[in-house]
């Protein structure tokens, strides 16, 4: 008998990289988006492959018979949260965690079950391609289920695009509903209820819904779903949660960095109390499979006292999983770092953004270079893996300030780093000062009084080729969160660094010889040797 599913949630679609590289490449190999992407892959057998694909390729070449990295293993925080939210309101749900890895299972669910609605999340998408691919796949196997698209992709475009462009985006994707809200889970449940019970859609706030003449946009009303009242019920997922899960203990961010649109995406900042977190984490730990959690709060260590209480709670419970998170190292001291280490912290992602105090001031980062240095020194002393992120080209940036960033990276020696071109979003606070800085254009195509995007893109490459004391961390299809599953799979941090150094050299070879079809034979041998040593 077919299972009745009120809402089937589809997790992240990590598109095949060779397809994505071709799409971005169609904009021109010298375009800023392609130059940004170019630092994420090497060429092997004439094909563009990411760090994850390179790991798996050479792991197998070393005599192993399985992939060492499976991006679908990280259980989605969005699915866990939405599934719990839907279930608590009396509806049934099912899910696929990773679209690419679970296509056969998804097709089976679409063919064999009575699926009422399908929710497509868009947390990590900056283009419509992954969404379009999912919708096309769904309609291939099921033409009756109503497709709902929500998340940052919709809300960002609704804020930044005019009505004509927005209508074009909605029509080209051709979903049945779109949710325009920084939260949106209440609207999702209302849609499910209306579809199930034959109700009208025009009274549901924060949605677009399809009519023959196009899409109708309903009124906007801020949702206020209290995170502490909607914590994940892990018993709903215990049979399918593996070794790696994503967790959140807060929504949005209390800071207003002028380059960042996250608070505008996520809405009002709110945190969960320690007792509620402890209850959820005990339930997660009781599943017995989870070995590492990724805490995705934008500012996990703020407020400071709450963070200390969470660390002490983790130490008291002696959870079987380790953890990694985003971290603001200007608030670090030895007591904090010591507690982090004792509680099982594996590593942190630091949004440093610039090694120039002038640019940090322009960014409203509320920190000093010296505070960053002190925090990173402590993290390094306690053996906590550091991945530091930097932005090149922010208003006020010059060749001199970029060189200050290079010197900062060389001096502080984070284990890994990433420098990327400033992405100019009109919803970010800096946009209010566009006249002051002479900002023109948006996204990857911009100029201001001290730089333009073409120059910034070239300087990102220069940073990549200049830094010697830290290892480049890609962003697409492999990032700092990928390190810890590798370590759980028996690859130690020194081997990861050695392999990533080889991958970095492969990118450098490509930059110096753009027509190169393959990484050098020497690099191939070194990559294979890393995994032979691991056996």
pLDDT tens string 63-97: 888 888 887 788 999 999 999 999 999 999 999 99
pLDDT confidence of residue 166: 92
Q: Is the pLDDT of residue 264 over 80?
A: no
pLDDT confidence of residue 534: 57
pLDDT-above-90 percentage for the chain: 78
What are the φ and ψ backbone dihedral angles of 302, each rounded to 5 degrees? -130, 130
pLDDT confidence of residue 15: 82
What are the φ and ψ backbone dihedral angles of 206, each rounded to 5 degrees? 70, 30
pLDDT confidence of residue 535: 54
Q: Is the pLDDT of residue 343 over 60?
A: yes
Pick the closest to residue 453 from 407, 428, 420, 404 (CA basis): 420
CA distances from 181 to 213, 279, 436 (A): 23, 29, 31
CA distances from 271 to 187, 222, 231 (A): 22, 18, 12
- Per-residue confidence band for 238, with pLDDT thresholds at 50, 70 and 90: confident
User: Region 232-244: what's the mean pLDDT?
Assistant: 92
Token duo for residue 415: 């284990």
pLDDT tens string 446-468: 999 999 999 999 999 999 999 99
- Longest CA pairwise span in the chain (Å): 68
pLDDT confidence of residue 19: 86
Pick the closest to residue 328 from 259, 374, 362 (CA basis): 374
Alpha-carbon torsion, ordered 33, 38, 43, 48, to 10 deg: -30
What is the pLDDT of the chain when averaged over all its residues? 93
The pTM (predicted TM-score) of the whole model is 0.93
Q: Is the pLDDT of residue 98 over 90?
A: yes
Choose between 453 and 261: higher pLDDT. Answer: 453
DSSP 66-117: S-S--GGGEE-HHHHHHHHHHHHTT--EEEEEETTTTHHHHHHHHHHSEEEE
Q: How many CB atoms lie within 10 A of CB 436?
A: 11
- Distance between CA 74 and CA 243 in Å, rounded? 8
pLDDT confidence of residue 533: 65
Helix count (H) and strand count (E) of the chain? 21, 22
**Alpha helix (H) ranges present in 142-217?**
152-160, 163-173, 185-197
Q: Is the pLDDT of residue 504 over 80?
A: yes
- Distance between CA 73 and CA 360 in Å, rounded? 36
pLDDT tens string 395-451: 999 999 999 999 999 999 999 999 999 999 888 999 999 999 999 999 999 999 999
Instruction: Look at residue 50 and give its three-state secondary structure.
Output: strand
User: Region 315-334: what's the mean pLDDT?
Assistant: 96
pLDDT confidence of residue 434: 95
- Distance between CA 348 and CA 148 in Å, rounded? 34
The secondary structure element, H or E, covering residue 332 is: none
User: For 15-24, 243-252, 352-361, 520-529, which range has the lowest pLDDT when averaged over its residues?
Assistant: 15-24
pLDDT confidence of residue 93: 97
Q: Is the pLDDT of residue 177 over 70?
A: yes
Alpha-carbon torsion, ordered 228, 234, 240, 243, to 10 deg: 80
Q: Is the pLDDT of residue 124 over 90?
A: no
Pick the CATH number of 298-489 from 3.30.1330.60, 3.30.1490.270, 3.30.750.200, 3.30.70.141: 3.30.750.200
- Distance between CA 125 and CA 49 in Å, rounded? 20
Q: Is the pLDDT of residue 1 over 60?
A: no
- Per-residue confidence band for 119, with pLDDT thresholds at 50, 70 and 90: very high
pLDDT tens string 469-499: 999 999 888 888 899 999 988 899 999 999 9
> Hey, where are the domains in the chain?
298-489
């Amino acid at each position: 008998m077919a299972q009745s599913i009120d809402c089937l949630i589809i997790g992240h679609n990590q598109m095949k990289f060779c397809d994505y590289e071709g799409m971005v490449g169609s904009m021109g190999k010298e375009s800023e988006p392609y130059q940004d992407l170019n630092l994420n892959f090497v060429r092997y057998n004439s094909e563009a492959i990411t760090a994850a694909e390179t790991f798996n390729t050479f792991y197998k070449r070393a005599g192993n018979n399985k992939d060492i990295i499976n991006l679908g293993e990280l259980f989605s925080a969005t699915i866990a949260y939405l599934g719990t939210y839907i279930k608590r309101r009396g509806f049934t749900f099912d899910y696929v965690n990773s679209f690419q890895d679970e296509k056969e299972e998804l097709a089976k669910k679409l063919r064999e079950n009575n699926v009422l609605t399908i929710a497509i999340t868009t947390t990590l998408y900056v283009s419509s391609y992954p969404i379009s691919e999912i919708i096309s796949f769904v309609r291939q196997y099921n033409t009756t289920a109503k497709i709902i698209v929500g998340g940052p992709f919709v809300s960002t475009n609704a804020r930044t695009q005019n009505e004509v462009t927005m209508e074009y985006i909605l029509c080209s994707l051709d979903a049945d509903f779109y949710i325009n809200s920084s939260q949106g889970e209440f609207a999702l449940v209302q849609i499910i209820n209306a579809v199930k019970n034959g109700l009208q859609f025009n009274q549901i706030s924060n949605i677009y819904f399809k009519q023959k003449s196009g899409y109708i946009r309903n009124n906007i009303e801020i949702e206020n779903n209290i995170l502490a009242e909607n914590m994940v019920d892990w018993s709903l997922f215990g049979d399918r949660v593996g070794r790696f899960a994503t967790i959140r203990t807060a929504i949005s961010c209390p800071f207003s960095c002028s380059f960042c649109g996250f608070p505008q995406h996520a809405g009002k900042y709110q945190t969960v109390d320690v007792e509620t977190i402890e209850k959820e984490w005990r339930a997660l730990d009781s599943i017995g499979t989870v070995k590492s959690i990724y805490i995705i709060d934008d500012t996990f260590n703020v407020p400071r006292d709450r963070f200390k209480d969470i660390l002490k709670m983790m130490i008291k419970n002696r959870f079987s999983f380790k953890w990694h998170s985003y971290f603001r190292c200007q608030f670090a001291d030895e007591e904090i770092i010591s507690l982090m280490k004792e509680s099982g912290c594996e590593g942190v992602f630091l949004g440093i953004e610039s090694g120039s105090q002038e640019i940090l001031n322009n960014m409203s980062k509320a920190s000093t270079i010296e505070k960053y240095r002190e925090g990173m020194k402590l993290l390094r002393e306690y053996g906590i893996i550091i991945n530091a992120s930097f932005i090149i080209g922010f208003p006020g940036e010059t060749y001199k300030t970029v060189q200050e960033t290079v010197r900062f990276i060389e001096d502080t020696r984070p284990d890994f780093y990433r420098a990327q071109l400033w992405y100019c979003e009109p919803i970010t606070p800096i946009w209010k000062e566009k006249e002051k800085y002479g900002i023109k254009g948006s996204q990857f195509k911009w100029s201001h009084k001290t730089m333009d995007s073409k120059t910034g893109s070239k300087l990102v490459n220069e940073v990549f080729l200049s830094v010697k004391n830290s290892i480049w961390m890609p962003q697409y299809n492999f990032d700092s969160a990928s390190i810890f599953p590798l370590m759980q799979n028996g690859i130690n941090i020194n081997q990861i660094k050695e392999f990533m150094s080889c991958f970095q050299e492969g990118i450098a070879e490509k930059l110096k010889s753009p027509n190169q079809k393959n990484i050098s034979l020497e690099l191939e041998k070194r990559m294979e040797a890393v995994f032979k040593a691991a056996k």
